[in-house]
Amino acid sequence: MSSKINGHVSPQPCPHLLVFRSRNGPKPFRALQDCIRVKPPGGRAAIRREPTEVPRCGTCEESSRSRLYACVACAAVFCHAPLLHSHASDHSLSIPGHEIAVDVDRAELFCCACGDQVYDRDFDAAVVLAQTVNATATTSTSGSTAMQCSVAGSQPENLRKRRRVDYRPWEPDSGEHISRGNQSIPLLDAANASLVSSTQQPWGLRGLNNLGNTCFMNSILQALLHTPPLRNYFLGDRHNRYYCQQKNGAINGTKNSRLCLACDMDALFSAVFSGDRTPYSPAKFLYSWWQHAANLASYEQQDAHEFFISMLEGIHEKVEKDKRKSQSPAGSGDCCIAHRVFSGILRSDVMCMVCGFTSTTYDPCVDISLDLEPNQGGSGKSSSAKSLNSFNVEADCMRPNQNCGISTLKGCLERFTRAEKLGSDQKLFCQKCQVRQESLKQMSIRKLPLVSCFHVKRFEHSSIRKMSRKVDRYLQFPFSLDMAPYLSSSILRSRFGNRIFPFDGDEQDASNDLSTEFELFAVVTHSGRLDAGHYVTYLRLSNQWYKCEDAWITQVNESIVRAAQGYMMFYVQKVLYYKESENQGTS
Partner 1 sequence: MKHSVNRPPTPDAAEDQGKEPTLQEIINVKLIESGEKERLMELLRERLIDCGWKDEMKALCRAHVKKKGRNNVTVDDLVHLITPKGRASVPDSVKAELLQRIRTFLMSAAL
Q: How many residues bind partner 1 (CB under 8 A)?
A: 36
Q: How far is CA 81 from each of CA 55, 57, 104, 112, 120, rounded to the nearest angstrom?
A: 15, 11, 14, 11, 23
> Does the protein bind partner 1 through residue 15 (CB under 8 A)?
no
Nearest to 218 by CA among 462, 550, 558, 567: 550
By beta-carbon proximity to partner 1, the closer residue of 4 and 386 is 4
* One residue of 15, 18, 42, 290 binding partner 1 per CB under 8 A: 42
Q: Sheet containing 344-352: give its strands across.
A: 358-365, 344-352, 439-447, 420-421
CA pair distance 172, 174, nearest whole angstrom: 7
By beta-carbon proximity to partner 1, the closer residue of 34 and 396 is 34
> Does the protein bind partner 1 through residue 52 (CB under 8 A)?
yes
> Does the protein bind partner 1 through residue 1 (CB under 8 A)?
yes
Q: Which stretch binds partner 1 (CB under 8 A): 66-74, 134-142, 165-173, 316-324?
A: 66-74
> x-or-dash pattern for partner 1, window 114-143, by CB under 8 A?
xxxx--------------------------
CA pair distance 222, 524, nearest whole angstrom: 9
* One residue of 13, 58, 282, 331 binding partner 1 per CB under 8 A: 58
> Does the protein bind partner 1 through residue 64 (CB under 8 A)?
yes
> Does the protein bind partner 1 through residue 34 (CB under 8 A)?
yes
CA pair distance 476, 471, nearest whole angstrom: 14
Q: How many CB atoms lie within 10 A of CB 92?
A: 26
By beta-carbon proximity to partner 1, the closer residue of 31 and 188 is 31
Helices (H), 452-534: 488-496, 504-511
By beta-carbon proximity to partner 1, the closer residue of 93 and 353 is 93
> Does the protein bind partner 1 through residue 356 (CB under 8 A)?
no
Burial of 449 (0-12, 13-18, 19+ CB in 10 A): buried
CA pair distance 563, 538, nearest whole angstrom: 12
By beta-carbon proximity to partner 1, the closer residue of 114 and 530 is 114
Residues in the chain: 587
Establish whether 215 is a catalytic residue. Answer: yes
By beta-carbon proximity to partner 1, the closer residue of 158 and 390 is 158
Q: Scanning residues 138 to 177, which ones bind partner 1 (CB under 8 A)?
A: 162-163
CA pair distance 471, 104, nearest whole angstrom: 83
> Does the protein bind partner 1 through residue 560 (CB under 8 A)?
no
Q: Which stretch binds partner 1 (CB under 8 A): 112-120, 285-293, 346-354, 518-526?
A: 112-120
Establish whether 455 is a catalytic residue. Answer: no
Amino acid at 374: P
Contact 119, 11 (CB under 8 A): yes
Distance of closest approach, residue 1 Cβ to partner 1, in angstroms = 5
By beta-carbon proximity to partner 1, the closer residue of 86 and 525 is 86
* One residue of 10, 19, 75, 440 binding partner 1 per CB under 8 A: 75
Q: Which stretch binds partner 1 (CB under 8 A): 27-35, 150-158, 209-217, 437-445?
A: 27-35
Nearest to 303 by CA among 215, 222, 433: 215
CA pair distance 408, 413, nearest whole angstrom: 9
CA pair distance 12, 521, nearest whole angstrom: 61
Find the catalytic residue in 215, 244, 336, 548.
215
Phi, psi at 116, each rounded to 5°: -145, 160
* One residue of 83, 165, 187, 294 binding partner 1 per CB under 8 A: 83
Task: Print the SS3 string covering 160-191.
Answer: CCCCCCCCCCCCCCHHHHHHHHHHCCCCCCHH
- Would you tell me which residues interact with partner 1 (CB under 8 A)? 1, 24-25, 27-28, 30-32, 34-35, 39, 41-42, 49, 52, 54, 58-59, 61, 63-64, 67, 73-77, 82-83, 110, 114-117, 162-163
Catalytic residues: 215, 534
